[in-house]
Amino acid sequence: MFSEYRIHPALLLLLYCLLCSAGEEVVRLQELEGNTVTIHTGLTGVQSDAHILWFYRSENTDIKIVNSLIIRGEIITDYYSERFRDRLQLNRTSGSLTIRNISREDSGVYKLHIITGISSVWSFSVDVYAPVLKPVIRNQAEKRSVRLRESCSPLCSVENGKDVSLSWYEEKERISSISSSDSSERLYLPLNKTNPDCSTYTCVAANPVSTQTTQLDITNICCKSVSIKKAEELPKSLAALLKSAGLIAALSILFVLYWTKTSKQQVYQYVKLNYAEVKSTSPYSDDDHKKGSVGVTEDERTLVVYSAIRM
């Protein structure tokens, strides 16, 4: 009865190839470095006596990392690779593989083979990312000698990495973005706005597994940079003022010392003055005195003259 409905062998072969090709579909996973990651197969009940193999592709070569099978009723599971030493765990019920403390070096293609009379293959592409760093905002015009509003030119930057992007958001709308395949170069993105203090602006650094955000603080970024510039200029002005004041003070001290020295010399010379007494004979003769000239005294007869003599 059923022999009339036998399926042609060519049709069976085509069905088998379709199943194989479906099993070869690559599932892509993106994971954060340092996490414990489970590669889920989606299977719910792998045959208990199935032979399960996991391979990791490195440099175009598939390296066997897990081999689990039943030998005389006992489950034997071996973990081969030194690369994943003590970090792998197989779930035989689903065929899923858990990797602890995954690193960026663990990125690559993982293949699962389940053999139960026929071989089924699943492929998983795993990309592991480091956490993106927090972006930094600074005023790129902080050294210009211009007014505050003209000098406020926020510039956001972040260390680049695998699939890192840098974006500016105004409120919740993205207004600009940048990325670079060269992970050795730092990413820079200016905020091209005339009045950045009129809205809320946020700089966002992101990769497929992590995000870091820095909000623009217009007071600290712009006003602070101007204040710092003025504070840097103040010591220069103060130094010039102190230099002038010091010069004036030095000249004043020299003048006082010179004046003091000169005054002392004058006083010393004055003290050294001596006086000589010179007597001069009165114009009146002795005969006049004998005659009893009226009104002529002894003092009037003798004239004393003092003359200063410098020593």
Q: How confident is the model at residue 14 (pLDDT cuts 50, 70, 90)?
A: very low
Across residues 227-240, what is the average pLDDT?
51
pLDDT at 283: 52
pLDDT at 257: 76
> What's the mean per-residue pLDDT of the chain?
76
Across residues 38-56, what is the average pLDDT?
93
pLDDT at 227: 44
pLDDT at 96: 97
Burial string for 63-94 (b: 16+ CB within 10 Å, else e) reads eebbbbbeeeeeeeeebebeebeebbebbbee
Please indicate whether residue 207 or residue 241 has the higher confidence score (pLDDT). 207
**Domains of the chain and any CATH numbers:** 2-129 (2.60.40.10), 136-221 (2.60.40.10), 274-309 (no CATH)
Poorest-pLDDT segment among 167-171, 199-203, 307-311: 307-311
Across residues 288-302, what is the average pLDDT?
48
Poorest-pLDDT segment among 23-27, 160-164, 174-178, 226-230: 226-230
Q: Which helix (H) or strand (E) holds 249?
A: helix 224-271
Instruction: Please give the C-alpha separations between residue 182 and each of 159, 163, 170, in angstroms, as whole numbers.
Output: 11, 10, 27
Looking at the predicted structure, is the pLDDT value of residue 146 above 60?
Answer: no
Beta-strand relationship, 302-309 and 274-281: antiparallel
Please indicate whether residue 23 or residue 140 has the higher confidence score (pLDDT). 140
Q: How confident is the model at residue 269 (pLDDT cuts 50, 70, 90)?
A: low
pLDDT at 9: 39
Percentage, residues of the chain above pLDDT 70: 65
Of 301, 269, 308, whose CA–CA distance to 287 is shortest?
Answer: 301
Across residues 145-157, what is the average pLDDT?
68
Poorest-pLDDT segment among 69-83, 177-191, 297-311: 297-311
Of 280, 261, 277, whose CA–CA distance to 269 is shortest?
Answer: 261
Across residues 141-157, what is the average pLDDT?
65
pLDDT at 24: 61
Q: The whole model's pTM is what? A: 0.61
Beta bridge partners, 279, equal 304
Looking at the predicted structure, is the pLDDT value of residue 286 above 70?
Answer: no
Beta bridge partners, 307, equal 276
